[in-house]
Structure formats: C-alpha cells, structure tokens
Amino acid sequence: MEKLRFIDLFCGIGGFRQALGENGHTCVFSSDLDPDARLTYTENFGEEPAGDLTQIPEREIPSHDLLCGGFPCQPFSISGNQGGFEDARGTLLYEILRIARHHRPSVLFLENVKNFLGHAEGRTLETTVELLESLGYEVHYSVLNASRYGVAQKRERIYFVCFRKDLGLSGFQFPEPTDQDIVVEDVLLSPDDLRLDELVIERDDLFLSSEFPLDRENRPLRIGTVGKGGQGERIYSPKGHAITLSAFGGGIGAKTGMYLVEGRVRRLHPEECRRLMGFPEGFRLHPRRNVCYKQFGNSVAVPVVSKIVSSIDRFLDGQSRRAA
C-alpha cells in the first residue's frame, strides 16, 4: 500500500494524526485556531500547527492525497447551541470545501457528532452531502460507536469517507465492530495515586443503588445519582463503559461523569480520559486539568479512526490491484 500525504484540519490535539501515523501515513500540514490545542499538538508531534484556517490561502497548503478534519461540532452538538450552519463555526465546513476544490485530494475523511445526522430535520446532512458531491466526490457516511471498536466509552460519531469520482472507486465499507472486552476499570490509574484525591465527590445528597453489577458490560452502567440526577449528576460502575467525554456540560460530574471506584465516588483523571480516547502512554497532556477535559472531549477516539484508516488503506490497495 502506497503511503498517503495528509493534511490535518481543525486538528485539536492530534487524534487524526495519531491514527494516520500509526498506519504509516505522513502529515504535511496541520491547523487549529485554539492556542491550547496547538500547544498540546506541538508537544506530541514536534511541530506547531498553523492558526486560523480562514486566513490561509489554499495555495499555501501543500499538495496532499487525503484531507482529514473533525470540523467544529458545537453548532450541531446536543451539548452545544445547535446553531448549525447559522453558527460561524458551522461555516468552517466551507473551508474544507475551499481547500478540497483547489487541491483535489483523492480522499476526504471527516468527523462530527451523531446529532449532525438529524440536525435541522436532516437538512444539514443533506446539504453537506450535496456540497461534497458537487465537488466530484462519492460520499460514504456512517455513525460508529466507539464502544464497539475497542474503546471503553460510549461515543457515537458520524464519519464521512469520500473518494474522488474520477478515480472510479466504489464499494467502500466501514469497519465491522470488534466488540472487545474492555471496560472503565481497565483504564483506571492505581488507587494509590494521590492525584485522585482531589477528584472525589463527597455530598450529602449522594445516592447509590443497593445492587451493583457483577459482570462486565460494554455499555454505561448507572448505579446512583447526586442531587436531582440530571446530566452530569449520575454515577456509573467501572464494570461498564464510560459516558461520552464532553468538552462542555454542567453538573458536578461534568465532562467525565462520576464512577464508584474503590468505595469512592469520583470523576476521572485526565490520564484516564487519555486512555478512554485511545491516545498512547506517554502522550503529553496540557498542564491545566480543565483544558485537558476540554481537549479530550473535542477529540476523536483514536482506535475508531485508526480502524477506518485501515479500511481506507485496504480499499485503495484492493482497487489498485484490480486496476493492475
């Protein structure tokens, strides 16, 4: 399989880059507006991403085979304002189209929140597909849940894989679920780690069920509440999967959820969030904890992206052999 040159747009802390790099591909350009994200990216990949993509002429971006990007999801997210294309961040899809129109990469690989699928009664998705097809791309999309791809977290995202129509490629399939046996307790730090003490929740209005699950399950297992039990106030068992890590949201358990671990109810540590997103051991975190939570909440789940990249590689390799 010939290795691809790719550009990493709205790169965040580098989830796409991590996955594509694991599959042997080469990044030739990256960009993100957020200075904290650029700092974390630089610490881990040795180069600083460019800043505001809207200010970068397309001719200054290197030629590439694959364009990837998790374009900002807040305009479409349940935890955001759902302004869609009316939100200034929603228009950043047009930056992807601008660059794709100029460079004509063979593959576009995009990601957004599951809510993108039904946003504006489906009109947002319909418009996006029409725009991509108008550029000459065959569009494939699917909602994949990280829970079914080796990640101990419920994280449903829509992925777009688009191939230039003039290449004559057809029949791409997203990867089949692997349903590995992995749960939250498999990614936890040692209970002796003193950093966990400041994450413990002690409240008078904390309620725990009288029965706890004994078996491991690939889904979140709710076992209690704090306060009124709303979003961010629910307690889960580490024998199940984590709830979706979020960059935003309220409640005492906001961004990570709360888990009963070794007899204590606590939030997750950023290192545990790193593991839940599939970033490798040794991945350098931002020095501020709340920034870490935001960055992982905004990121892609690396194992899912890596499996999609492997599917793209096999598909392109198979098409090349048939053409030969």
- Report the distance separating Cα 278 and Cα 282, nearest Å: 12
For residue 67, give both structure tokens. Answer: 């364009």
Catalytically annotated residues: 73
> Would you state the torsion angle of the CA atoms of residues 302, 305, 309, 310, taken in this order, to the nearest 10 degrees?
70
Distant-in-sequence, close-in-space partners of 61: CB < 8 Å, separation ≥ 6:
7, 29, 99, 102, 103
Distance (Å, rounded) from C-alpha 138 to C-alpha 120?
23
Tokens read off for 52: 């505001």
Pairing state of beta strands 264-267 and 206-208?
unpaired
- Name the residue with tokens 């200034």: 88
Taking residue 135's Cβ as centre, other Cβ atoms within 10 Å add up to 16
Which contiguous run of DSSP H or E holds residue 226?
Answer: strand 222-226
For residue 28, the 8-state DSSP code is: E
